[in-house]
């Protein structure tokens, strides 16, 4: 399966930053207590999470299919005086090195469920022994009760969906989390799915 990167290239080119330079709040919460090692950020966008991890001593690979996003990520990494291995590839088809990463991050990647299952399979195989897999994205519950994110339920996921894609990983957290979003009408609450899983070989 392939995706067309042109729309995302245009979106990233249209704004100085599509996302903030600061890491996602949940990535910071989860990764902030882990010892630094090798990290993989799939669908890294402009690199905010990858750069934050690198600043904390991680050896980081960031992957995204948008050439424009990767170019901006390279610039931001240089500005932050950190080194990240940037890879411009489609995460549906790109296969990371197996048994190699202490942390894999998938942050707001929204694809049809078959494609998401494929990406999570790659991520699962990429984990080193005792490695962690972290997923956060817009929940389907957000359509009725939250704000923002894709409006197509076919690309949204609930905690149980993600758990089903994780194979034999040990799930540590699988839940809805709330995130404040500032709008012209005041603060609103977005509902995200958060799943944290651990490779445990017995």
Alpha-carbon distance 47 to 110, whole Å?
17
Distance, C-alpha 53 to centroid of its chain: 13
Give backbone dihedrals phi and psi of 150, rounded to 5 degrees, phi first: -60, 150
Alpha-carbon distance 181 to 201, whole Å?
39
Residue 141: predicted pLDDT: 94
pLDDT bucket at 126, cuts 50 / 70 / 90:
very high
Residue 12: predicted pLDDT: 44
Q: DSSP character for 24?
A: P
pLDDT bucket at 8, cuts 50 / 70 / 90:
very low
Alpha-carbon distance 5 to 89, whole Å?
10
pLDDT tens-digit map of 53-111 = 999 999 999 999 999 989 999 999 999 999 999 999 999 999 999 999 999 999 999 99
Residue 181: predicted pLDDT: 87
Alpha-carbon distance 118 to 128, whole Å?
18
CB atoms within 10 A of CB 83: 11
Spell out the domain ranges in the chain. 6-13+23-173
Class of domain 6-13+23-173: alpha beta
Residue 13: predicted pLDDT: 52
- pTM here is 0.90
Q: DSSP character for 32?
A: T
Query: Which percentage of the chain shows pLDDT scores above 90?
Result: 80
Helix (H, G, I), strand (E, B) or coil at 78: helix
Question: Averaged over 161-189, what is the pLDDT?
Answer: 93
Lowest mean pLDDT among 53-62, 136-145, 193-202: 193-202
């Amino acid at each position: 399966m392939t995706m067309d990167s042109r729309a995302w290239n245009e979106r990233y080119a249209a704004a100085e930053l599509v996302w903030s330079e600061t890491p996602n709040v949940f990535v910071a919460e989860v990764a902030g207590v882990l010892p630094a090692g090798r990290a993989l950020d799939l669908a890294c966008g402009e690199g905010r999470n990858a750069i934050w991890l690198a600043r904390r001593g991680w050896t980081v690979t960031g992957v995204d299919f948008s050439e424009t996003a990767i170019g901006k990520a390279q610039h931001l990494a240089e500005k932050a005086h950190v080194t990240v291995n940037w890879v411009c590839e489609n995460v549906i088809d790109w296969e990371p090195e197996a048994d190699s990463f202490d942390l894999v991050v998938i942050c707001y990647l929204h694809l049809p469920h078959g494609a998401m299952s494929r990406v999570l399979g790659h991520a699962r195989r990429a984990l080193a022994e005792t490695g962690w897999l972290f997923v956060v994205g817009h929940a389907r519950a957000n359509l009725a009760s939250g704000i923002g994110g894709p409006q197509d339920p076919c690309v949204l996921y609930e905690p149980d969906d993600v758990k089903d894609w994780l194979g034999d990983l040990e799930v540590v957290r699988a839940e809805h989390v709330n995130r404040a979003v500032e709008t012209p009408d005041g603060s609103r609450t977005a509902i995200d799915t958060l799943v944290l899983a651990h490779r445990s070989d017995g």
